[in-house]
C-alpha cells in the first residue's frame, strides 16, 4: 500500500470528479495526471493511454499495483480498501438502493451526455443532452423523494452523492431547469459545502483552465 497512487483524470469529466471526491473523503493522497479530452484530438484516444484504459475513458486509477477503470468499480474498491468513512450503508437493502441511485446516473444518464456521443450527435447535442438528463432527473427526483435525508440516502453521504454532484453540473451546463427537482437540489446544496466535495471540484484542479477556475 506504500506504492504511489496515480489518478488519470480531466477536470470536467464526471467520472473523474466522482473518484476525486472518493479519494478526498477517504484521505488517500494521489498524484494527478491530466488527460485532455479535447487537445490533440483527445489524449484519451492515444495508444499509450489505451494500454491503461482500453475504452479510452477517464478516470484510470493506479493503486496497490493495480490499474483500475470504471468509476463505480473504483469506488467499490476504495470502499473495500478504506472502509471509513463508508460510501455504502451498513445493510444490504440500503446498499442496493444506493447502487441503484448511482446506476441511474452512471448508466442511465451520463453515457448519453458523454463527449464522444455529443460529438456524434452534432448540431442538436444540447437538445439531446437536455432530453436525457431531464428524463433521468424526473426518475431520480421520484427515487430521492423516498430515500433522501440530508443526502441521497438518509443522512450519510454515499456513492450516490458522488455521482449526483457532477450530474447536477451537467444538468446546468445543458440548460436543464434544475428548479424542477427540489430534492435533488436540496441534497446538492448540502453536498457542495463539504471539504471533500470542494477538494474534488472540477473548478479547483491542476488542469482547470484559468478562466474557469473557482475563486
Task: Tell me which stretch binds a copy of itself (CB under 8 A): 22-30, 135-143, 177-185, 199-207.
Answer: 135-143
Shortest distance (Å) from residue 137 CB to a copy of itself? 10
List, in order, residues 6 or more apart from 129 with CB less than 8 Å away: 112, 113, 118, 170, 174
Site for a copy of itself in 151-190 (CB under 8 A): none
Shortest distance (Å) from residue 97 CB to a copy of itself? 8
Closest CB to a copy of itself among 3 and 64? 64
Three-class secondary structure of residue 176 per DSSP: coil
Grid coordinates standing for 129? 443532452
Task: Tell me which stretch binds a copy of itself (CB under 8 A): 35-43, 134-142, 163-171, 188-196.
Answer: 134-142
- 22, 34, 58, 140: which one binds a copy of itself (CB under 8 A): 140
Residue 54 DSSP class? T
Q: Is the peptide bond before 23 cis (omega within 30 degrees of 0)?
A: no
Shortest distance (Å) from residue 131 CB to a copy of itself? 8
Task: Give strand ranges (E) for the chain.
Answer: 6-9, 31-34, 60-63, 66-69
- 27, 46, 126, 142: which one binds a copy of itself (CB under 8 A): 142
CA torsion sign, 111 to 12 to 57 to 157?
Answer: negative
Closest CB to a copy of itself among 108 and 154? 108
Task: Give strand ranges (E) for 26-74.
Answer: 31-34, 60-63, 66-69
Are the C-beta atoms of 88 and 95 separated by less than 8 Å? yes
Spatial distance between the Cα atoms of 135 and 132, rounded to a whole number of angstroms: 5
Q: Does 110 bind a copy of itself (CB under 8 A)?
A: yes
Contact pattern for a copy of itself over residues 40 through 79, marking x by CB under 8 A: ----------x---xxxx------x-x-xxx-xxx-xx--
Contact positions toward a copy of itself, by CB under 8 A?
Answer: 50, 54-57, 64, 66, 68-70, 72-74, 76-77, 80-81, 92-93, 95-97, 99-100, 102-104, 106-108, 110-112, 117, 120, 128, 131, 135-136, 138-140, 142-143
Amino acid at each position: 500500500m506504500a506504492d504511489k497512487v496515480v489518478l488519470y483524470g480531466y477536470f470536467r469529466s464526471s467520472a473523474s470528479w466522482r473518484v476525486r471526491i472518493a479519494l478526498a473523503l477517504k484521505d488517500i493522497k494521489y498524484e494527478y495526471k491530466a488527460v485532455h479530452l479535447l487537445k490533440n484530438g483527445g489524449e484519451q484516444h492515444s495508444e499509450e493511454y489505451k494500454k491503461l484504459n482500453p475504452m479510452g475513458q477517464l478516470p484510470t486509477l493506479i493503486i496497490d499495483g493495480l490499474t483500475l477503470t470504471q468509476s463505480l468499480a473504483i469506488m467499490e474498491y476504495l470502499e473495500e480498501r478504506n472502509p471509513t468513512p463508508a460510501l455504502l450503508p451498513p445493510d444490504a437493502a440500503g446498499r442496493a438502493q444506493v447502487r441503484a441511485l448511482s446506476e441511474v446516473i452512471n448508466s442511465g444518464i451520463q453515457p448519453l451526455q458523454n463527449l464522444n456521443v455529443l460529438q456524434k450527435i452534432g448540431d442538436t447535442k444540447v437538445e439531446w443532452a437536455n432530453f436525457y438528463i431531464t428524463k433521468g432527473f424526473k426518475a431520480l427526483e421520484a427515487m430521492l423523494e423516498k430515500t433522501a435525508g440530508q443526502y441521497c440516502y438518509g443522512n450519510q453521504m454515499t456513492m450516490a452523492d458522488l455521482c449526483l454532484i457532477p450530474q447536477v453540473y451537467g444538468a446546468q451546463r445543458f440548460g436543464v431547469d434544475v428548479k424542477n427537482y427540489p430534492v435533488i437540489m436540496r441534497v446538492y446544496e448540502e453536498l457542495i459545502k463539504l471539504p471533500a466535495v470542494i477538494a474534488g471540484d472540477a473548478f479547483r484542479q491542476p488542469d482547470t483552465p484559468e478562466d474557469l477556475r473557482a475563486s
